[in-house]
Amino acid sequence: MDNRKGRLMAVKFVNAKDSFLHVNLINVSLMQGKVYELRDETRGNCLAVCSCLATPLKNLKDNEVGMSQKLAKAIGLGGSESLVLTEIENLIPKSSQVIFTISDPDYAILVMNATKVEYIMLDQIRLVKRGQNVVVWISPMVSITLNTEKILPESELALLTNETELHILPSSDVRSVSRLGSLEDPSPEEMQTGLVCRVIFSEKPCATPFVAKIHPSVKPSFLFALGKILSVNKTMHLQLISDSEVSPAVDFLSNLPIIYLDKRARDQANLFFDGCKIFLEPLEIVRNAEFIVHVSKNCSVQSVKDDLKSLAEKLNRELLVVNQTVFPLKNNLAVKFEMKTSHTNLSSTSIESCNMGVKLGKFEIKNEPAMVEAEHSDHQIFSSWLPLLNNLKKSLVTNARTHVKSPIAVLKGTRGSGVETFLQQFVQLVVAPPLKLHDLALDCKAFKGKTVDTLKNKLMELFLEGTKHDPCIIIFENIDQFFPLQTHDLHESPESSYRLGVLQCIWNLSYSFSKRHNCYVVTTAVTDHEVKIWDDMSVPVELFQIPDLSLEDKVQALKQCLTKLNCNWTNELEDNSAQIIEICNYQDICDIAGRATFEKLKSMISSDEPVVITTDDLSSARNFLTSQSLKDFNLLRIGNQNGAASSSGRWPNVGGLSDVKEKLTEMIFWPFMYSHLFATNPLKLQKGALLYGMPGTGKTLLAEELAKSSGMNLIHIKGPELLNKFIGASEEAVRNLFEKASAAKPCILFFDEIDSLAPRRGRDTTGVSDRVVNQLLTSLDGVDSPAEAGVWVLAASSRPDLIDRALLRPGRFDTMLHCNLPTRLERSEILQILSSGLKISSDTDLNKLAEMTDGFCGADIQALLQTAQLVALEEFVDVFSEETGDKSMEHQEQLEVNWNHIQLALQKTRPSLSQEERRRYEKIFKEYELSLQPVGRGKRAVFKQRTILA
Ligand SMILES: Nc1ncnc2c1ncn2[C@@H]1O[C@H](COP(=O)(O)OP(=O)(O)OP(=O)(O)O)[C@@H](O)[C@H]1O
């Protein structure tokens, strides 16, 4: 192609939403990124300049150039014509300011979408020529046409970059064009050319329709044309009258004046919701700005405040500055900066660098609406959450006024603690008067696995939507979707960079939008890990910890759930429910109510009677469900059969071990059962105990039985299950565990095989165990007195000598309880217990069996009885199938374990530990016990002394 002569190409209209030229693949390699002058083939005049897009369009021929039909029309091309394309080779100057004009209807659209235009403009247009029209698409259906009025410094062409300041003026306001870009002050008229207001629908109809009321402190009475927010084609005239009875004068959150509009005018303007924004364009220009303040980029807010203060003092008058931020100066004196609304300034630094008009007059700072104490109605807010709800609301208001706080609030609650419900209650609170925030939500579940770019586009749409409804609150639901479980590695990994990308995107948008608009982002976090990720990004999110519900609130939550499920409840349930759901969290209560209702409905399927839930229904539903807070853990039992603690027969299933049982009863059972007595007694309670002994001696059984008999939750951790190869993950698992235990209180945290989780430090080459031990120590030290905290810690090990010694110090696992191999008497007791569920013939002598099982531990005895049962079963099957050919086992009741079966089982069963192994264990325990006693003092000293005396 001869660049000087140009190339003749036929114009084809393509479905593009931009002001670029499009060509096919072959031409792209020649033309991409280049800039062309477009001349009319017949008349030869230059119509426009355009740059060529690098993305090829398949359906174009080699001699065709594609452009949008709208653009073609805007630059004066009619029908399908041909153009001569001449490349512009000279360097195109980058311009600092470009001034466009725009038709009045398009201006109305622009005003409502200014922020969006800022973001999308450079994607659609890069090059402009003085006098040329360009088209910008605000949405696929809506576009505006801009005419390039002026380029500064003076030039024919301008390349638009991020640095270019764009000014767009309505064409009716051409007078001001000549002044733009100069350092001249804008005239007072320019400053009063428009007003953005928030509409509140007036309850009483006005005598004349199309009259809007406004508080006199904001504007005197003028005639305005009303441009509406949703449908942009209509313009209606509106009489604006001042009325001292209307209040508030200014919506303090958005700093927008509020006007009250009659219903008829509202319908005419297609305004659908209270609180929407409208743009008022004056029909009369009013000269009333008396003083101009220049606010430059480098000028501090304080210096402006000082200037204005001295001015107010000098004039002995009060200052009124409409729009933008309010700075209180002294009693009843305030200033607000007014940006020029005569044009929309699109530079990112516009706020700092523009001139602002100050109007002198009286201005009353509207007092911050008192934090309306949230209503404590039956269906709404729990009193335990009320202080936090109000704090969060306060933070939001402060942020809206000062922009000094973080735009993101993270609500942290444990699993099942009702985080989502809390969020709903918060939203209810802020969308109601007086704040009237608009709420938008994004369910992150829908974006799981999507690219950061896809998410970014969606977020951009969401935030832009938010700016339309400013002030608004944006809620990220289920944000944990972006935190895959195994992202604890500190090294670069696809997961960690994805997560970082997502969060950075959320942060960047929240930050930039909240600077200019009142957008406040609220999200949730369930684990420490989720909170830490924000920390790692070093962005200042505000963290709010959701408190546990009080017992009264739990009962209220239960009633709410049952009411929602259309159920009634009995009076006795009213009295007993607190006891049943005492240790449940919010989600558990919802689940229990749901389960109880479901079971009740099942039982009365053919009845039309109303559903009435009783104490029994609730208790059985509670026993059926696993607590939410414990779902990730190995939960052995919650409470006993009745859902409440029993005070008698505490160890019915554990034989022998009387010392250990007694000590555990004193240490855990009593302080829990009689907490009121212990609370008034200054006794220092022990919070942790270590059960040690040979394998199979009933250590796990003891922990289970303790939880069962006291009605406490039990979290059972098998040593190595917490260890994770990712750096930091094991420590975090330990931290989470203690958090869960606290959420599930009253709770016993039971570390089985603790020697494998917390071996002595310094022996592990990977360092994982060392860090886990350190974390365990920190977490154990963090557990308060069990009577208050409701968390007791138990550990079990058959090799206590391998455990890190620091764990055994006072305040940690400071009580050592030895679970011995059972003696003959104890074996007899165990045999009684374990055989109680079996059918045993009368010829069986359990005492004799106890004598014959020397060296057997509890687990061995259980194995022996199981083997005896199997032997009995084999015999039973043989006899019945041979004699009767009956294989249906109808005669099961005749299945019985007799002495003979036991003898046979005894021949097949050996103690799990040989004599030598038992001796080795005994030696280890002895040495271990000795090593624990302080040298020269205490027991060891006594022991030594005794030796000497003997
Ligand atoms: N003292 C006991 N009374 C009744 N049953 C017992 C007793 N000791 C052990 N058993 C039986 O043995 C089974 C296994 O015991 P348990 O798991 O509690 O032993 P452990 O000491 O925790 O063993 P390990 O060290 O191998 O974990 C129990 O479920 C129970 O049936």
- DSSP sequence for 867-894: HHHHHHHHHHHHHHHHHH---S-TTGGG
Cβ–Cβ < 8 Å for 131, 356: no
Average pLDDT over residues 129-141: 86
Q: Does the pLDDT value for residue 412 go beyond 80?
A: yes
Q: Name 860's Cβ contacts closer than 8 Å, sequence gap at least 6.
A: 696, 853, 909, 911, 912
Q: Whose CA is nearest to atom 29 of ligand 1?
A: 701
* Distant-in-sequence, close-in-space partners of 809: CB < 8 Å, separation ≥ 6: none
Confidence of residue 778 (pLDDT cuts 50, 70, 90): confident
Where residue 316 falls (left for φ over 0; alpha for ψ -120 to 50; beta otherwise) is left
Backbone angles phi, psi at 747, to 5 degrees: -150, 145
Range with the poorest average pLDDT among 301-305, 791-795, 906-910: 301-305
Per-residue pLDDT tens digits for 196-213: 777 777 766 555 556 677
Of the residues 650, 700, 925, which should be mutated to test ligand 1's pocket, given the most ligand atoms within 8 Å of the CB?
A: 700
Task: Look at residue 81 and give its three-state secondary structure.
Answer: coil
| pLDDT band for position 821 (cuts 50, 70, 90) | very high
Residues 6+ apart with CB under 8 A from 699: 691, 692, 693, 752, 796, 819
The conformation of residue 365, written as its DSSP 8-state character, comes to: P
For residues 575 and 163, give the distance between their C-alpha atoms in angstroms, rounded to a whole number.
Answer: 70
651 CA → ligand 1 middle, Å:
13
Joined tokens for residue 375: 């209503």
Half-sphere exposure of 444 (CA within 13 A, CB side): 23
DSSP 201: E
pLDDT attached to residue 380? 61
Tell me if 656 CB under 6 Å of ligand 1: yes
Please state, rounded to an integer, the average pLDDT across all residues of the chain: 72
Give percent above pLDDT 70 in the chain: 65
pLDDT for 678 equals: 62
Ligand 1 centre to CA of 697 (Å) is 5
pLDDT of amino acid 945 = 29
Min mean pLDDT across 51-55, 272-276, 792-796, 860-864 is at 272-276
Q: What letter does residue 152 receive in the DSSP assignment?
A: E
Distances (CA, A) of 468 to 114, 450, 520, 677: 10, 26, 14, 60
The answer to whether the CB of 670 falls within 8 A of the CB of 679 is no
pLDDT for 796: 92
Q: CA-CA distance, 358 to 292, in Å (whole number)?
A: 5
Q: Which DSSP symbol is given to 809?
A: S
Q: Which two tokens stand for residue 515?
A: 């600077």
User: What pLDDT sits at residue 405?
Assistant: 61
Kindly tell me if the per-residue pLDDT of 147 is higher than 70: yes
Which residue has a Cα nearest atom 24 of ligand 1? 695
Tens digit of pLDDT for each residue in 726-755? Answer: 566 677 778 878 877 777 777 888 998 888
Averaged pLDDT, 81-104:
78
Q: How far is the CA of 698 from the centre of ligand 1 (A)?
A: 3
Ligand 1 and 699: CB distance under 6 A: yes
- Predicted complex: ipTM over 0.90: yes
pLDDT in tens, 473-500: 888 887 777 765 544 444 456 677 777 7
Q: Choose among 512, 494, 515, 503: nearest CA to 539.
A: 503
Average pLDDT over residues 147-151: 87
Residue written as token pair 């359906």: 59
For residue 59, pLDDT over 80 is answered with yes
800 touches ligand 1 (CB under 6 Å): no
Residue 848 has pLDDT above 50, yes or no: yes
Q: Residue 43: pLDDT above 80?
A: no
Is the pLDDT at 333 greater than 60, yes or no?
Answer: no
Reported as a single tens digit per residue, the pLDDT across 168-197 is 877 754 433 333 322 233 334 433 456 677
| Ligand 1 proximity of 858 Cβ (cutoff 6 Å) | yes
Cα separations (Å) of 583 from 43, 420, 596? 87, 20, 17
Instruction: Identify the pLDDT of residue 765.
Output: 62
Assign 479 to helix, strand or coil: helix
Nearest CA, atom 6, ligand 1: 858
pLDDT, residue 694, reads 92
Query: Which atom number of ligand 1 is nearest to the Cα of residue 822?
Result: 1
Helix spans in 885-914 (H): 899-908
Selected residue with higher pLDDT from 644 and 465: 465
pLDDT at 521: 86
The whole-number pLDDT of residue 564 equals 82
Q: Which atom of ligand 1 is nearest to the CA of 693?
A: 21
CA 238 to chain centre: 44
Cβ(128)–Cβ(251) under 8 Å?
Answer: no
**Is residue 859 over pLDDT 80?**
yes
Mean pLDDT of 37-53: 79
Determine the average pLDDT of the residues in 635-655: 53
> Among 698, 744, 644, which residue's Cα sits nearest to residue 856?
698
Task: Identify which of 78, 107, 87 has the alpha carbon closest to the alpha carbon of residue 11.
Answer: 78
Helix (H/G/I), strand (E/B), else coil: 783: coil
Lowest mean pLDDT among 241-255, 634-648, 878-892: 634-648
Rounded Cα gap, residues 143 and 149, in angstroms: 19
- Smallest CA-to-CA distance from 890 within 877, 909, 900, 906 is with 877
Residue whose pair of structure tokens reads 């325990």 in the numeric block: 925
- Beta bridge partners, 803, equal 759
Position 819 scores a pLDDT of 92
Per DSSP bridges, beta strands 133-137 and 634-638 are unpaired
Q: What is the dihedral of CA 336, 337, 342, 345, to 10 degrees?
A: -130
Beta carbon of 688 within 6 Å of any ligand 1 atom: no
pLDDT at residue 707, rounded to an integer: 83
Burial bucket for residue 791 (CB in 10 Å: 0-12, 13-18, 19+): buried
pLDDT at 864 over 70: yes
pLDDT of 357 reads 43
Share of the chain above pLDDT 90, in %: 5
Helix (H, G, I), strand (E, B) or coil at 787: helix
Among the ranges given (349-358, 496-505, 720-729, 826-835), the one the predictor scored with the smallest mean pLDDT: 349-358
d(CA 564, CA 585): 18
Nearest to 530 by CA among 545, 547, 519: 545
Q: Which residue has the higher pLDDT, 702 or 504?
A: 702
pLDDT score of 891: 60
The predicted model gives 524-532 an average pLDDT of 74
Q: Is the CB of 695 under 6 A from ligand 1?
A: yes
**Atom of ligand 1 at shortest range from CA of 656:** 1
Ligand 1: residue whose CA is nearest its atom 25? 695
Task: Give the pLDDT confidence score for residue 78 in this predicted structure.
Answer: 64
Ligand 1 atom 14 nearest Cα: 859
pTM for this structure? 0.45
Judged against a pLDDT cut of 60, whether residue 372 lies above it is answered with no
Cα separation, 547 vs 386, whole angstroms: 10
State if residue 50 touches ligand 1 by the CB under 6 angstroms criterion: no
Q: Is the pLDDT of residue 471 over 80?
A: no
Ligand 1 centroid – CA 654 distance (Å): 9
When pLDDT is averaged across residues 922-931 and rounded to a whole number, the result is 87
Cα–Cα dist 582/923, whole Å: 46
Confidence grade of residue 797 (pLDDT, cut at 50, 70, 90) = very high
Sort strands 688-693 and 713-718 into parallel, antiparallel or unpaired: unpaired
How does residue 334 score in pLDDT terms, banded at 50, 70 and 90?
Answer: very low
Nearest atom of ligand 1 to the alpha carbon of 655 = 3
Kindly give the distance from the C-alpha atom of residue 662 to the centroid of ligand 1, in angstroms, as a whole number.
Answer: 18
Looking at residue 163, its pLDDT comes to 72
**Range list of β-strands (E), 719-772:** 747-752
Residue 787 pLDDT: 58
CA-to-CA distance for 329 and 523, rounded, in angstroms?
A: 36
Distance between CA atoms of residues 892 and 261, nearest Å: 85
CA neighbours within 13 Å on the CB side: how many for 918?
14
When pLDDT is averaged across residues 130-145 and rounded to a whole number, the result is 86
Which parts of 185-315 fold into alpha helices (H)? Answer: 188-191, 263-268, 301-315
When mean pLDDT is compared across 626-640, 814-828, 921-935, the lowest value belongs to 626-640
Pocket mutation for ligand 1, best pick of 701, 751, 756 (most atoms within 8 Å of C-beta): 701
Q: Tokens for 450? A: 């999507």
In ligand 1, the atom with minimum distance to the C-alpha of 697 is 21
N-to-C CA span, the chain:
116
Give me ligand 1 centre to Cα 819, in Å: 10
| Cα separations in angstroms, 416 against 525, 579, 587, 588 | 12, 19, 5, 7
State whether residue 506 is helix, strand or coil. Answer: helix
Interatomic CA distance for residues 286 and 279, integer angstroms: 17
- Tell me the CA–centroid distance for residue 649 and ligand 1, in Å: 19
The strand pairing partners of 134, in sequence order, are 146
The pLDDT confidence band at residue 931, using thresholds 50, 70 and 90, is: confident
Average pLDDT over residues 253-257: 60
445 or 852: whose pLDDT is higher? 852
Q: Are 654 and 705 in contact (CB under 8 A)?
A: yes
- What pLDDT is recorded for position 180? 30
For the chain, give the number of residues.
Answer: 950
Rounded CA separation 560/563 (Å): 5
